[in-house]
Structure 1
Amino acid sequence: MWGLTLAGVIALLALDFLVTRRPHEVSMKEAAGWSAFYIALPLAFGGWIWSQYGQQTGVEYLTGYLVEKSLSVDNLFVFMLLLTAFAVPAVLQQRVLLWGIIGALVLRGIFIALGAAFLANFAVAFLVFGIILLATGVKILRDQVTGAGHDVDVATMRSVRLIRRFMPVTDDYRGTRMSVVENGRRMLTPFAVVVVAVFATDIVFAVDSVPAVYGITGDPYLVFATNAFALLGLRALYFVLQGALSKLVHLGYGLAAILGFIGVKLVLHWAHGVWPGVPTIPTVWSLVVIVAILGVVTATSLYATRGEDGDAEGSAHVAEPGAQHHR
């Protein structure tokens, strides 16, 4: 299973490189088609897991996938801000996202292996992971309340400052090239710098997501499979949700609640091993709670932003009463 899954992930990444080999702007039709594919594939795989390994394993996989997909949507906010801050041309955006996905897969693979070893050798690991998720949930909630949840200051990023200190950077993009030779010296392009910035944010995302899915299942294979499937569809999902992301104004509250819930679940699991009378939370109930939270924050977000499109359109007409529309 490990060999087949890794081969499948590599094949899908190779397919994505073929799709993005010619830089182009992504149409909604193209993005929607690939998004549908990358949602249908993990769901079909989940159905196969359920049929082959039973309900418990199937529910663990589906719950873990839902958690990882939810966290990946939040990650898209940061990717959007990075692409905007670096003024990445539209034709190059999907290649930047693809490099970010590859970096995330590698980093999460490392974190998953370390997490599995930690859990296998130290029972207190469940308590440690639970505290990490509770602290992360509190941070997300605080950032949501203060409105600082997705601020990105490129100039202060350590990775960017380090690159600019040791390597010169060209003033403009050179397609998908990472570096060029000008006047006899090697120079990086802004494309390379934004890829490194995305890699740096991938590390932060891995710290949150891996303990979260370990709170659903202790099987390293399911942890990797759910992470891989959630990440592989990000490139296309970014362009589908690019306009809708701004409407998910309450997503931070939902993610804080989900991470807090899984954190409590892990702490209870650790406490149950120490004091058998302490109750634990079944995975089925985890799935129910996570679906309910996501449904509520999506509904409240859409309700809170229900009039924004009309207001923006009305403002445009007031500002430019004589403007004509051209195709």
Structure 2
Amino acid sequence: MPGSLSTTWAAPTGPVGSPVLWATSLAVLLALLTADFLLTRRPHTVQLPEAVGWSVFYLALPGVFGLFLWGVHGGAPALEFATGFVVEKSLSVDNLFVFVLLLGAFAVPAELAQRVLLFGIVGALALRGVLIGLGAALVQAGTWAFLVFGAILFGTAAKLLRELLAKVDREPDVSTMRSVRLLRRLVPVTDGYRGSRLVVREQGRRALTPLSVVVVAVLATDVVFAVDSVPAVYGVTEDPYLVFATNAFALLGLRALYFVLSSVLGRLRYLNHGLVVILALIGVKLVLHWAHGVWPAVPEIPTPASLGLIVLILTVVTVASLRAAGRPSDELPTEG
């Protein structure tokens, strides 16, 4: 045994990410992304067995990494990583729902879907890398940063709640997206897809294909999700490396998960209800963490309790969604 139980679960004394660990992690991340790009060079429709296989692989990776953290750095960083990963994975499923709507709105051929998703994942990783750095700088500047993060999460939860109460249709209107309108105004766009090509030369001029336009739309939505997800993980851990690791592991498996869940996502009708509660819970955790630093008598929400509550919330909304989707009245179209 490397130490007593109390030592194993003690709060980490410093950042987990050493320069060697950072360099190794970035190298592995680049290798996995490169492998994904090579695998998607030849467009093909992803079948369920292939998607399930990759999903299992990308779910096993964070499990192995969590065991590594446990063995090398103790239980506290491993638990923070596990909690952050569950939070990020639940938010990424909501991200997938928007991707499904975008790919449908652009009528993306099935064989090109994985290439669009891969561009979206790379963009999300880059954006979150920037925000993780900014978040780390804010945390170093003072504990008031946790109030800022908490306010962002409360604002996001309130926005989702308003949409749920108003029964707002989340299907994106592509024609109103500023990034898409600007792109079409600046550059000609072909009237149809040209395989996996983003740019073509036709009639003596260069033109973008619809694939380029959908990639831009996906990247634009990445900005919104990055602003929400990074503060959520800082509500679990203050270690920038663990924030990076949870985001990277959650996003890497997103492409395969899309093909596994694409037929089920529409049935998870209560997912956003659960996300409202989860975001509000982490917002409360952030505010209490700030208050504890100012007034030590103020209690904090322990990480094991956060993880337990988040898993419970996700279990309840999943079971409730599937039970509701299985009712005969929900399977029949309603008139009027």
Aligned with 1:268: secondary structure? helix
Q: CA-to-partner distance for each residue in 1:249-276, whole Å, 9 max, x for gaps?
A: 1000100100000000001111112222
Q: Is contact 2:201–2:207 with CA below 8 Å preserved after alignment?
A: yes
What's the counterpart of residue 205 of structure 1?
Answer: 225
CA distance in 2, matches of 1:170, 1:120: 48
Question: Could you say which residue in structure 2 is the equivalent of 1:307?
Answer: 327
| Cα-Cα RMSD | 1.3
Tell me the CA shift for residue 97 of structure 1. 0.2
Cα deviation, 1:227-270, whole Å, max 9, x if unaligned, reads 00000001000000011111111000100100000000001111
Does the alignment pair 1:262 with 2:307?
no
- The counterpart of 2:314, out of the listed 273, 294, 304, is 294
Count of residue pairs the alignment pairs up: 313
Question: Of the candidates 114, 118, 121, which is equivalent to residue 94 of structure 1?
Answer: 114
Q: Which whole-Å CA distance do the structure 1 matches of 2:138 and 2:169 have between them?
A: 30
How far does residue 310 in structure 1 lie from its aligned partner after superposition? Answer: 9.0
Offset at residue 43 of structure 1 (A): 1.1
Alignment correspondent of 1:318:
none
1:64 corresponds to? 84
Change (3 A) 1:307 1:106: same
Any unmatched runs of 5+ in structure 2?
1-20
* Letter aligned with residue 47 of structure 1: L
Aligned to 1:324: none
| CA distance in structure 1 between the partners assigned to 2:318 and 2:52 by the alignment | 20
Counterpart for residue 46 of structure 2: 26
CA deviations over 1:57-83 (Å, ceiling 9, x no partner): 110000000000000000001000000
Letter in 2 for 1:131: A
Q: Out of 160, 185, 197, which is 1:177 matched to?
A: 197
What amino acid does structure 2 have at the position aligned with 1:26? V
Equivalent residue, structure 2, for 1:279: 299
C-alpha distance in 2 between matches for 1:54 and 1:187: 54
Q: 1:128 to 1:114 in 2, by over 3 A?
A: same
8 Å CA contact retained: 1:77, 1:150? no
Change (3 A) 1:308 1:32: farther
Distance 1:149 1:285, change over 3 A: farther
SS in 2 for 1:187: strand
Alpha-carbon distance in 2 for matches of 1:249, 1:230: 21
Secondary structure of 1:181's aligned partner: strand
Gaps of 5+ in 1: 316-327
Shift in Å at residue 308 of structure 1? 5.2
Q: CA deviation at 1:280?
A: 0.8
Which runs of structure 2 are paired with 1:4-23 in the superposition (5 Å)? 4-23=24-43
Secondary structure of residue in 1 paired with 2:207: strand
Distance 2:143 2:282 in 1: 17
Say which of 243, 251, 261 aligns to 1:231. 251
User: 1:151 offset after TM fit, Å?
Assistant: 2.5
What is the SS of the residue equivalent to 2:201? strand
Decide whether the 8 Å contact of 2:124 with 2:226 is kept in 1. yes
**For residues 269-318 of structure 1, what are the alpha-carbon distances to aligned partners after superposition, in whole Å with 9 as ceiling and x for unaligned?**
11112222211111111111101110111111111111359945xx8xxx
1:192 to 198, 212, 216: 212
- Secondary structure of the corresponding residue to residue 272 of structure 1: helix
Query: Could you state the TM-score of these two structures normalised by the residue count of structure 2?
Result: 0.91
Instruction: Give the 3 Å change call, closer, same or farther, for CA 309–14 of structure 1 in structure 2.
Output: farther
Instruction: State the one-letter code of the partner of 2:130.
Output: I
* Number of the residue aligned with 1:320: none
Once residues 273 and 38 of structure 2 are traced to their aligned partners in structure 1, the CA distance between those partners, rounded to angstroms, is 38
Superposition deviation, residue 149 in structure 1: 5.8
Residue from 117, 129, 134 that aligns with 2:137? 117
Structure 1 segments, 4+ long, off by >4 Å, are: none
**Aligned residue for 2:18?**
none
